[in-house]
Amino acid sequence: MDLVHCASKVRDFSNNIDLYRQYISLEPEAPYVVEDCRPSPSWPQAGRVEFRDFTLRYRADLPPVLEGINLTINPGEKIGIVGRTGAGKSTLVKSLFRLVHGTTSGTILVDGQDTSAMGVGDLRPRLGIIPQESTMFPGSFKRNLDPLQEHTIEDMWAALIKSGIAPKVSPPRAGTAIAKDEEYRDAEYEETKAEAEWQWARAGWKLRLLMLTLYAKPPKPVIEKNRPRRHGLDRIAQSNSHGFSSGQQQLFSLCRALMRMRRVIVLDEATADVDLETDQHMQQLIRSEFGDRTVLTIAHRLETIMNSDRVIVMDDGRIAEIGSPQELIDAGGHFAGLVKANDFGA
Ligand SMILES: Nc1ncnc2c1ncn2[C@@H]1O[C@H](COP(=O)(O)OP(=O)(O)OP(=O)(O)O)[C@@H](O)[C@H]1O
């Protein structure tokens, strides 16, 4: 039995070494900030997105995944993106965030600024995304909702209630400790620190090894009875956060987007894991809350994008069709076929 146990430990360890090798060989990220090319603090103000003859290959020796993309999206426009698997939909929106490591030519401009010239730290936080797979970080619910600590507790409650995650209850009364921003931030800091210590104390050796590589000095272990009690927003988390379904996580991402309210927002199959009713609720919320924002939606269901101003049909890395849903239906092309197959009464 011990031998089997040892063998499995050795296998785990060698897997970890492989993982470290992979991490070490990763290509470094583009610079976080380029001092000579910093956008103004209010950028982007309008939300115009332009792809100019944009081509992308994941590797120089591979065929292009996006080829000759020319596209201007007007401020406030709602764009639906459809196409079969592998057509390049995700790559198109990831390119906007410079999340793809590859060889590119052409440019992507947001409000006239070349996104490839600025640092990714100036680019990515200024755009919003509701991804298909939302990430829930270890730590408190508040930390998950507002990792950069930019928002008040009231904003969080409002977003949680709008999205339907939180029950329609009154937020904490003004003047209470939890409602005071400063006190909340202090409490949050202490709680997160204690949470990290608590996790360290319970981490298996693999996780500790990883933590050691991430943080030079690990936090000191604490005993469980010292673990702080959760309060405020974390009461919701007690029942939900670590047992969130993927659909709930997508709602959670919507909450984050509602709080940040960026000029340009991307939904990458953001409603793929929710039921039709929740999808409709999310779409209605997006229309009402992001009415004046530029929204690019990669659609899992055609219903999701039937109210878009324009639909882009991607095919083999190119824009095959573009126009309003009705124009595309009337044109009788690929989109019309999809609509017919989905029985939308075309
Ligand atoms: N990291 C990568 N390295 C190499 N090729 C990739 C990589 N990611 C995606 N591709 C390829 O790029 C092409 C476009 O992929 P992409 O994910 O953009 O398509 P998609 O239209 O979003 O597909 P889906 O609907 O399945 O999500 C596919 O042929 C895919 O295999």
Residues of the chain with pLDDT below 70 are 1-2, 138-141, 166-245, 272-273, 343-346
Q: What is the model's pLDDT at position 216?
A: 42
> What's the CA gap between 296 and 310, in Å, rounded?
10
Q: What is the model's pLDDT at position 202?
A: 56
Q: What is the model's pLDDT at position 177?
A: 41
User: Which of 116, 113, 90, 112 has its CA nearest to residue 104?
Assistant: 116
What's the predicted TM-score (pTM) here? 0.74
- Reported ipTM: the value is 0.96
Q: What is the model's pLDDT at position 233?
A: 47
Which whole-number Å values give the CA distances from 36 to 30, 33, 40, 115, 117, in the listed order? 15, 9, 12, 13, 9
User: Which of 145, 164, 167, 165 has its CA nearest to residue 155?
Assistant: 145
Q: What is the model's pLDDT at position 45?
A: 95
Among 22, 58, 95, 101, say which to mutate for ligand 1: greatest number of ligand atoms within 8 Å of CB: 58
Would you say 163 and 285 are in contact if contact means Cβ atoms under 8 Å apart? yes
Q: Ligand 1 atom 25: the closest Cα is on which residue? A: 85
Using the atom order of ligand 1, give the atom closest to the CA of residue 92. Answer: 18
Q: What is the model's pLDDT at position 221?
A: 39
Among 90, 269, 300, 305, say which to mutate for ligand 1: greatest number of ligand atoms within 8 Å of CB: 90
Q: Ligand 1 atom 7: the closest Cα is on which residue? A: 58
- Residues near ligand 1 with C-beta < 6 Å? 58, 65, 83, 85-91
CA of 317 from ligand 1 middle (Å) equals 9
> What's the CA gap between 204 and 165, in Å, rounded?
32
Which whole-number Å values give the CA distances from 147 to 188, 190, 264, in the listed order? 11, 14, 20
Q: Ligand 1 atom 29: the closest Cα is on which residue? A: 86
